[in-house]
Each structure stands twice: as C-alpha cells, then as structure tokens.
Structure 1
Amino acid sequence: MRRWAGGLWGARARLRWVHLVLGGALLMPYFLLAEVVVGVAAGGVNALASLPLTLVSYLACLPLIAVTGLFGLVRPLSATAVRVMTGVPGERLADGPARSWGARWRAAAWWTLHLGTGAVVSGVSLAVPPLGVALIVTPFSGAVRAAVGEAGWLGAEAQGYVSPFAGAGVLAALAALCAAAGALLARLAPVLLGPTAADRLAAAEERAADLAVRNRLARELHDAVGHALSAVTLQAGAARRVLDRDPEFVREALAAIEETTRRTVGELDAVLGLLRDGDPARADAMPAPTLAGDLDGLLARTRAGGTALTAEQDPGPAGNWSQLPAITSREAYRIVQEGLSNALRHGTGPVALLIRAHPSDGHRELEITMTNPSAAPGPAAREDGPRRTTGGRGLRGAAERAALLGGRVEAGPHGDGWRLRAVLPLGGALAGPAADTGNPASPLPPPGRPPAALPAPARRSHPGAGR
C-alpha cells in the first residue's frame, strides 16, 4: 500500500507531474498560434468558444511542435530536463546536440510527445481538482449541493453519502493519470533521447583525447621532476664530497641546482595548472623545452654534477636543431632527458650521447643513442623483434613519445653497459636534400667510450668535464 501511494504521490511522481506541466506550458505559444489560424479558417470565430475547434487547434499545433523539435539544441535541453525531473539515469541519455537526422527526428518525436501529453495533463490538472473538491464538500454545503444538483453530476439521493467518495475517486484517478503519463515518458525517454552510435563514438573519442592529454601531462611531469631530482641529488652529493677542497666546483654545482630547480618549478606549475583547469585544448600550448633551445643547458647541468658526458650532435645540412618540427624537437628533448635520468640513477661511469639527423631507406630520421656502464646487469629485454623498452614509467613514456611520431625506442643491456636508442622519422622536415647528409649509421661504440667522430662542420662536440 505504501509503495502504491508513493507511486502516486511520492517525490518522483510529483517531479514527473511538474515535468508534464512544464510541457503543457511550452505548448501554449504553438496552441495560441494554431487557434488564431483555425478561428480565421472557421469564419473569424473564437476557436476557444467551441470544444471541436479547440481540439482542432490542439491537433494543428502538433506539427509545428515537431518541426521546431528538429533544432539541434532541443535534444540537450530535453535530456537535461528528463535527467533532473524524471529520475532517468544520465548515462541512458545523450549529451550534446543531435549529430544525425535520425537523432533529430527522435528528438522531435520526444518534443511533440512531451508537449502534447503535458498539455492534456495540464488541462486535466486544472479542471479535475475543483470538481473533486466540490464533490467532497457537497454534504457540508447547501450552495455546493445545489450547484452539483443543477449540473446533474449526482442524483439528489446520492449527494449526501456518495459524493465524498466520488470526489476522492476523481482525485485519485487524476493522480493515477499523471503518474502513468510520467512513467510512460520516463520509459520512452532513453529510446528517443538516448545516445546513438555516432554519439557513443564521439564520446569514446573525447574520452580517448582526454586520456591522451592526461598521459602526456603525466609523462611531462615524470620526465621533468624525475630528471630534476636525479640531477639535484647527484650534484648535491658531488658538492658535499668536495666541499673543502674544491670550492669552485661546489659553486658550479649549487648554481646548477638552482637553475634545475627553478626550471622544474616552472614546468611543474604549468602541468598542475593544466590538470587543475581540465582544459585539454591548452595542453598543446603548454611551453616545453626543445632540442634547439634547451639541449645545451641540459647537458651543462648534467656535467655540473660531475658526470662525464660526451655529446655528439649532427643536425645535418641545416646546421642547427631549429629546423626540426616543434613536436619532434620537444619529444626528442624529453627522450634525451629521460636517458640522462636513467644514466644518473643507474649508471656508474661516463655517458656517451649521439644525436644526429640522417637519411635511412629514402627517408630522413632523427637518431638518439645513449650508452653508459650499468651498476648491475640490466633486465633482459623482450624478444619481440628488436630489443625494446622494458623499464619503469620513464622508458615507457619515452616509447610512447616515439610512437606518437611514428618512431621507436629500444632500450636494454648492450655489452657491459646499457644502451638507449630512439629513432624518430623526419620526412622532409630538415632543409637540404636527404642524399647530401653523409654516411650510414655507424655501429654503437663500446660502453663508456664516446662515439666515433662525425664529419665536420655539421658536428658540434661537447667534451665531458668529469670529476
């Protein structure tokens, strides 16, 4: 009994009744326009004064409602109202404007059904309650009893004991009608306002894009902060060991620590700002270090911690890294940064770095190779074609960066040490014909020894300053 009463008078039933009344209110402009047209067509009479003409006006306004229901904003507005007022779960309703004509027609059908049913419920809600109340109070009011008798609703002999029950029955029937109409619309809402295949695809693409942005921000955060912590730890440890006998080196190390932390705080603030704002469009505009503008500083800060680092750079005919596409320059910098972080954390000796742009199989590519002795035998790489990344988040992030550009990363034990090799396609990104860039890729030098000299003048050598 309580469940039955809740279905008729509960909070959900009342909200659904308000939803229907709202539909009836939205129908009124259409109805008034149709009433004027029907009245003129009937010879200039008032259509509201005639029940048949009123019904004709009601039917005539339904096509107008259907036409306006084809507008794209009708579906999101209707879905929001349904979600808030009828108890239909939000995941069963579509978000955003209709993307196809099929979805538009379903939204138009819902719009027509909502307004048409709402008008009937609104009219009944206005007319029935006065009747029900009058029947209930008939035995207690002579004036009301006389009015009921004149209207012929009940016989004189039934007015004293039947009319209260009749009035209660009329009100209960009104509640049942409203509850049934609200339940019907709630059942039909997912059918007419639910997501289509195009909506599901668009939602999946949006989620994938958001996940890609968050993964990129996570990589940026890991690479920037992880490298900074490794470099600062190494620099601080080296400065502590020579504090008394080499003040000049200590000053250099402290300056490098200051510069590293200042840059990292800026990058951390930018990433956290994007995560807080939740605006994926701003991720591509986030400033990031590149080979052209920041590689030399990265190498200098690494050497300031006492790491013996030999770097060979061969940009090809362009003579500098500024001719690289911005995204390639940015991702290549992060790959180098991650390789240096691994070398600082896990290596025991000098680091040899080779970065060059050269032709390969008719295409131009950027090759990054880094070797260093390992503190212990590295984990075996997967036998999945070439030996590939099998490490922590940093190496996975480097592989993801390369894969986004159509390249690859291979990392694993090499001889007595560790090798990281990344290849990024360039296409025609660098100036000059591909055939002019010289020799094919040379084999990787033994760990701990710098690569063989590259042809001048394209090479820029940065000898290490190990301590």
Structure 2
Amino acid sequence: MRAFARLLFGRRARLRWIHLILGGALAMPYVFVGAVVVGPLSDGTAVFTSIGLQLASFGIGLPLAAVTSLFPLTRPLESAAVRWLCGVGADRLADGPARGRTAKGRTALWFTLHLGFGGLVAGMSLAVPPFAAVLIVMPLVAGPGDSRLGPWEVFDHTWAWALAPVAGVAFLLTLAGCAAGAGALLARWAPALLGPTPEDRLAAAEARAADLAVRNRLARELHDSVGHALSAVTLQASAARRVLDSDPEFVREALFAIEDTTRRTVGELDAVLGVLRDGDAPGTAPAPTLAADLDGLLRRTRAGGLTVTATIGAPLEALPPVLSREAYRIVQEGLTNAVRHAGEGVTVTLRVEVRDGHLEITVENPLTAPSGTRPGGGHGLPGIGSRTHLLGGTTHAGPTRDTWRLHVRLPVGAPP
C-alpha cells in the first residue's frame, strides 16, 4: 500500500505532475490560436463552453506547437526541464540545440507529446478536484432527492448518495494515476527523443578531440620551455658553485645566464597561462622562433659549461613562422636532453640545414653515464615526435656506436 501511494503521490510523481502542468501551460497559446480557427465554424456555439470544440482547438494547436519547436532553444530548455523534474540523468540527454533533420524531428515529436499529455492532465487537474470534492462532502450537506442537487437525478437513490464520497476518492485516484502514468511515459521516451543523436555524439567527440589537442600542445610548450629552463639553470648553478672561489668571472656569466633564462621562461609561461585562462594571449610575449632566438638559446646553454658546436647551413629568416617556431622547440628539447643526460664537459654538435626541400636538425652528444635523472621525465622524445608528425616530418633518435643522435627532417613547405 505504501509503495502504491509513493507511486501516485511520491516526490518523483509530484515533480512529473508539475512537468505535465507546465506542458499544459505552454499549450494554452496554441489552444487559443486553434479556438480562433474553430470559432467561425462553431455555428454560434461558444468555443470554451463546448468540450468538443475545445478538443478541436487543442487538436489544431498541437501541429502549430510542433512547428514552433524548431527554434534552437527548444531542446536545451526541454532537456533541462526533464532533467530536473522527470528524474532523467543528464548523460542521457542532449545539451545543445537540435541540429540535423533527425534531431529536429525528434524534438518536435517530444514537444508535441509534452504539450499534448500536459494539456490533458492540466485540464483534468483543473476539473476533477472540485468535482471530487463536491462528491466527497455531498452526504454532509444534502440528502437523497435534495432539490439542491439540480439535474443529478442519480442521487435521488440512497445507494448513489451513500457512494458519492467513494466516487470522489476514485476520481482523485484516477487523476493521480493518469498523471503518474503520463509522467512515467514521458520520462521513458525522453532519452530517445531528447537524447544525443549520432551527429551530436560525433560533434561532442570532435570537441573533445580538439580540447585534447589544445591540452597536449600546451603540455608540450610547458615541458619544452620550463623543462629546458630548469635543466639549464640547474647546470649553470652547479657549475657556478664549483668555481665560485676560483673563477668569479665565470660565476658572473652563469648568474647572468640564469637571470636571462628565468626571465624568458616567465614570459613564455605567462603566454601559455594566458591561453589556459582566456583561450587567447593578447599582449603576451610571442613564441620563440629559430630565426630570432637560436643564438640566445645557444648562449644560455653554453653558460652552463656545455660545449655546443653549431653549424647553421640554412637561411633561418626564410623559414615559415610555424616551422621556425616548432623547429626552435625541437632544438631546445634536443639540447635539454644533452644537458640532462650527457653531463658537463662534453661537446654537443648541432647542425641545422636545408636539403632537398626539408629542414634537417641533428643533435649529437657522446654516450656517457647520466649526470642525474629527473623523476617523472621521459616526455621529451615523444613531444619531439608529436611536433614532427604534425608537420609531416620524420624523427630518428637513438645510439650510434658511442654517440647519441637525434635527427629530425621537416618539410619546408606548408604543413599538411
């Protein structure tokens, strides 16, 4: 008995009842338009005093509701109402406007059903409770054959007069049952009619892929810029500490290099954080490029005690901006790996040249025992591979006899 009462009058049933009444309220303007159409055909009968004409007005208004449901806001608003009032999970409903013929057709069908069921239940909710209340209190205010009962001749009989309260309660239970049944049907149909279509799922997947691509790009930028800066600063500080008493001039240059490195890295970090905050970074420092910033990169790397022999066989100013920017990050990561793994006192060879329409970058350093490893590292080479793949190039990295060699080949033309 308790379960039956909860089914008809529980919190979920009451919320779904409210959802239906809202549908009835939304249906009223369309019913009025239908009444305008039906009025001239009613032979002088008042539209709102005839049940048949009211139903005809209702039937004319529902197709109009289906047409107006094509507005973009219909599906988001209906989905929100279903989510809060019908108890349907948000993961089973679509959020944005309906796109495509299938989604719009489903939305129109749902809106028509909502207003149709809602109009019927709302009309019953207005008419049935007063009638049921009269039946329930009738034995208290009138008796069998009472003239105040008017045309209700059935109540001239004692049995009908005695059963009037039972009939009133039955009418109320019928109303509650109709509202609960209609609400349950709409809740069951909502995922099929308001849920995401294959086009919606594809658009959501593309949006997630685009967001993931942006996150990966920002992660690469942070890894390459901040990772290189920390490695270079660590090496420069370590070298300066060892010769603090014997070579003050070298210490002075190392401190200057540390200051310059951190200042530039803060600027790059601000640019990346600006993208994270606002989706854009107006007014921030531009990303470094091979043409404008390679000399500074080599100077800061050498300030840490690493010997870098650079051979530049290409006009860097003529490189496309995207290629120049990505190539700078590749060179930066190659030197970072050499700093991190080759240690101090070794010679790193860098060659940048254009050959057969491709920009070739080669970084070589002797294979030695690592001077120190960073926990959680190991993302440098995958980052280089990702940048190279996006530009349509190739990457080869690995030991060659007693030398570690990184070779990157990038097309100079527009990236695919």
TM-score by length of 1: 0.81
Change over 3 Å in CA distance of 1:39–1:218 after alignment to 2: same
What 5-or-longer segments of structure 1 have no aligned partner?
378-390, 430-467
Which position in structure 2 is the counterpart of 1:426?
Answer: 412
2:98 matches 1:98: yes
Which position in structure 2 is the counterpart of 1:257?
Answer: 258
Alpha-carbon distance between aligned partners in 2 of 1:148 and 1:261, rounded to the nearest angstrom: 94
What 5-or-longer segments of structure 2 have no aligned partner?
371-376
Which position in structure 1 is the counterpart of 2:30?
Answer: 30
Equivalent positions of 1:52-131 (< 5 A) are: 52-131=52-131
Alpha-carbon distance between aligned partners in 2 of 1:44 and 1:37, rounded to the nearest angstrom: 13
Which position in structure 1 is the counterpart of 2:378?
Answer: 392
Equivalent positions of 1:410-449 (< 5 A) are: 410-427=396-413
Alpha-carbon distance between aligned partners in 2 of 1:264 and 1:152, rounded to the nearest angstrom: 94
Alpha-carbon distance between aligned partners in 2 of 1:327 and 1:44, rounded to the nearest angstrom: 78
Provide Cα deviations, 1:196-230, integer angstroms capped at 9, x if missing partner.
11111111111111111111111111112211110
Alpha-carbon distance between aligned partners in 1 of 2:4 and 2:274, rounded to the nearest angstrom: 52
Which position in structure 2 is the counterpart of 1:206?
Answer: 207
2:293 matches 1:294: yes
Alpha-carbon distance between aligned partners in 2 of 1:153 and 1:256, rounded to the nearest angstrom: 105
Q: Does the 8 Å CA contact 2:391/2:410 hold for their aligned counterparts? A: yes
Alpha-carbon distance between aligned partners in 2 of 1:78 and 1:56, rounded to the nearest angstrom: 26
More helix by share: 2
Partner residue of 1:371 out of 364, 367, 386: 364
Change over 3 Å in CA distance of 1:428–1:326 after alignment to 2: closer
Alpha-carbon distance between aligned partners in 2 of 1:330 and 1:170, rounded to the nearest angstrom: 77
TM-score by length of 2: 0.90
Which position in structure 2 is the counterpart of 1:356?
Answer: 353
Whichever residue aligns with residue 333 of structure 2, its letter is E
Whichever residue aligns with residue 136 of structure 2, its letter is I
Which position in structure 1 is the counterpart of 2:21?
Answer: 21
Alpha-carbon distance between aligned partners in 2 of 1:72 and 1:20, rounded to the nearest angstrom: 22
Equivalent positions of 1:155-174 (< 5 A) are: 156-158=157-159, 161-174=162-175
The secondary structure found in structure 1 opposite 2:337 is helix
Q: Does the 8 Å CA contact 2:240/2:251 hold for their aligned counterparts? A: yes
Q: Does the 8 Å CA contact 2:316/2:324 hold for their aligned counterparts? A: no
Which position in structure 2 is the counterpart of 1:404?
Answer: 390
Partner residue of 1:320 out of 302, 310, 316: 316
- The Cα of 1:121 is off from its aligned counterpart by 0.8
Whichever residue aligns with residue 361 of structure 2, its letter is I
Change over 3 Å in CA distance of 1:274–1:138 after alignment to 2: farther
The secondary structure found in structure 1 opposite 2:158 is coil
The secondary structure found in structure 2 opposite 1:352 is strand
Q: Does the 8 Å CA contact 1:338/1:398 hold for their aligned counterparts? A: yes
**Between the two proteins, what is the percent identity of the paired residues?**
59
Equivalent positions of 1:41-56 (< 5 A) are: 41-42=41-42, 46-56=46-56
Provide Cα deviations, 1:112-158, integer angstroms capped at 9, x if missing partner.
11111111111011111112222223333349987557545745524
Which position in structure 2 is the counterpart of 1:442?
Answer: none
Partner residue of 2:328 out of 306, 314, 333: 333
Q: Does the 8 Å CA contact 2:267/2:285 hold for their aligned counterparts? A: no
Q: Does the 8 Å CA contact 2:226/2:265 hold for their aligned counterparts? A: yes
Q: Does the 8 Å CA contact 1:117/1:181 hold for their aligned counterparts? A: yes
Alpha-carbon distance between aligned partners in 1 of 2:46 and 2:294, rounded to the nearest angstrom: 84
Aligned length: 405
- The Cα of 1:287 is off from its aligned counterpart by 4.1
Which position in structure 2 is the counterpart of 1:457?
Answer: none
The secondary structure found in structure 2 opposite 1:162 is helix
2:188 matches 1:187: yes
Q: Does the 8 Å CA contact 2:290/2:327 hold for their aligned counterparts? A: yes
